[in-house]
Amino acid sequence: MQGEKPRGCTWRSICVTGATSQLATFLLPRLIESGIAVHAFSRNPPVTSTAGVDWYTVDIGSGAGLPVIRAEGLLHLAPIWLLPPRIGDFAALGVGRIVAFSSTSRFTKIHSRYAGERRLAEKLAQAETRFAKECDRYGIGWTVLRPTLIYGGGNDLNVTRIASFVRRFGFFPVAGPANGLRQPVHAADLAAACLAALDSPAALQHGYNLSGGEALTYRNMVAVIFRAQGRTPRIIQLPLFVWRLAAYLSRMSGSGAAINMGMVHRMNEDLVFDNAEARRDLGYAPRAFWP
């Protein structure tokens, strides 16, 4: 089968791109514990290095040459659209198996009322298609993993930002009832799924949606974040016209990050995905939400 390792054979050498990401925080130690030689690629050197990891400062999106190494597999944690043009370069390093991360945003933002979000969804979908095509061209086994809302590494754009706002102001504003369902997924569970996909013949030439272990409303997710910090939830419900006014004022003032109205609208939209295939093929068992 294309890209499949012989039964009983272990991975000796793996490349990891996006190696300073929150997912890599959990993935790199597991690779080292498994006795795998790890070649970590990132645009910037790590703040703290991981013992047993060979680090290379390289921006794969720039077209720069890759380090002269040998590796059997690649775990791509960087944006998926950076990967298709470099498949041939990784094939030249000996890579015959790739697990790459995309996002469920390719589905949730495709019909967004905001053009920038629709473009992102299209970019993700096109990158997945091109990635699969290039891998097939070089005889490389591929798997695409699409997480929902990631947390656990302390530097995500959702849970961590909510927690920071709560610590600073003691309350959190939501749009309307904020009853849209969410399935936050811990980065450690994604790392486990990544390694399982690497070894699963069923995962070859296949994509999986990786959602968290429970579905809860956006409002309840915020309440859990409050309680995790030992605080009583203080959630303030604001109508959309107040959010629109605040977004307009933030743009006009030029101070701080502009309010993302797409995110505001999605507080009341269900972003729920079935992970049954991942449970079946990868033994995927994500935890319930607790930041």
In angstroms, how far is CA 4 from the centroid of its own chain?
A: 24
CA separation for the pair 167, 231 (Å, rounded): 9
CA separation for the pair 196, 109 (Å, rounded): 28
Q: What is the pLDDT of residue 200?
A: 96
Q: Which structural domains are found in the chain, ordered by start?
A: 13-153+184-214+272-282 (3.40.50.720), 159-179+216-266 (no CATH)
- Any idea what DSSP says for residue 100? E
C-beta separation of 225 from 166 below 8 A: yes
Which residues make Cβ contacts (< 8 Å) with residue 9, sequence separation at least 6?
A: none
C-beta separation of 69 from 14 below 8 A: no
Token pair recorded at residue 10: 């272990």
CA angle 6, 68, 24 (to 5 degrees): 70
Residues of the chain with pLDDT under 70: 1-9, 254-257
CA separation for the pair 183, 186 (Å, rounded): 10
C-beta separation of 146 from 104 below 8 A: yes
CA separation for the pair 219, 202 (Å, rounded): 37
State the sign of the Cα–Cα–Cα–Cα dihedral 91, 126, 284, 184: positive
Per DSSP bridges, beta strands 216-217 and 181-182 are antiparallel
Q: What is the pLDDT of residue 135?
A: 98
